[in-house]
């Protein structure tokens, strides 16, 4: 059995989140939590909350033992891109893409 937690429309690029996802994939929950707390990335704050939510889902919805949980899967998919314009010289405009992410954390029992 697997418990999941999703975060949709996070205002951070999926490329930046993927770096943090790779750090905790396959680790036990206490080890993953320690790694996230020591990682100086903007995505690690979001991932801590998401990991805690997945553990709570496993404990309350699936009656899993929180001591034996590990991060079975974690990934960040691109969400919709917010498009903005930046004024440039001679009346031109360049586009700025503000990317969003859909982040998922899955935990399972060992």
Q: State pLDDT tens for residues 21-77.
A: 999 999 999 999 999 999 999 999 999 999 999 999 999 999 988 889 999 999 999
C-alpha–C-alpha distance, residues 86 and 84, integer Å: 7
Residue 55 near residue 69 (C-beta atoms within 8 A)? yes
- The model's confidence at residue 1, banded by pLDDT at 50, 70 and 90, is confident
Residue 88: phi and psi, rounded to 5, are -130, -175
Q: How confident is the model at residue 110, as a pLDDT?
A: 86
User: Which two three-digit tokens encode residue 85?
Assistant: 């314009």
User: Is it the case that residue 13 has pLDDT exceeding 90?
Assistant: yes
Phi-psi region of 53 (alpha: psi -120 to 50; beta: other; left: phi over 0): alpha
Global model pTM greater than 0.75 = yes
Residue 32 near residue 24 (C-beta atoms within 8 A)? yes
């Amino acid at each position: 059995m697997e418990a999941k937690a999703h975060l949709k429309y996070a205002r951070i690029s999926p490329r930046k989140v993927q770096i943090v996802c790779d750090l905790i994939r396959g680790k036990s929950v206490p080890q993953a939590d320690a790694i996230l707390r020591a990682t100086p990335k903007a995505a690690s704050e979001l991932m801590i909350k998401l990991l805690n939510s997945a553990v709570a889902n496993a404990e309350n919805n699936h009656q899993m033992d929180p001591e034996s949980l590990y991060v079975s899967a974690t990934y960040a998919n691109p969400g919709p891109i917010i498009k903005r314009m930046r004024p440039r010289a001679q009346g031109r405009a360049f586009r700025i893409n503000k990317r969003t992410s859909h982040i998922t954390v899955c935990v399972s029992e060992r």
